[in-house]
Amino acid sequence: MVQESRELGLIRGDVDVARWIEPKYVQAAIEQLGLQKLWPVYDADNRPIVR
């Protein structure tokens, strides 16, 4: 998505999206609400990660 945005001229340089996202808050809420089975986790290639 970042590369596509750059190719389309929407952004000028590379963006490290991983630095913008802090998953610990979402993970804490998912665990607190017991939604682990309803909220799948995916790897970088968009494949589900089995917990």
Stated pTM of the model: 0.49
**E strands within the chain?**
41-42, 48-49
Taking only the tens of pLDDT, the chain with its 51 residues reads 778 888 899 988 888 877 788 889 988 999 999 998 898 888 889 898 876
Q: What is the pLDDT of residue 2?
A: 79
Q: What is the pLDDT of residue 21?
A: 80
Instruction: Provide the 8-state DSSP code for 10.
Output: S
**Cα(34)–Cα(19) distance, integer angstroms:** 27
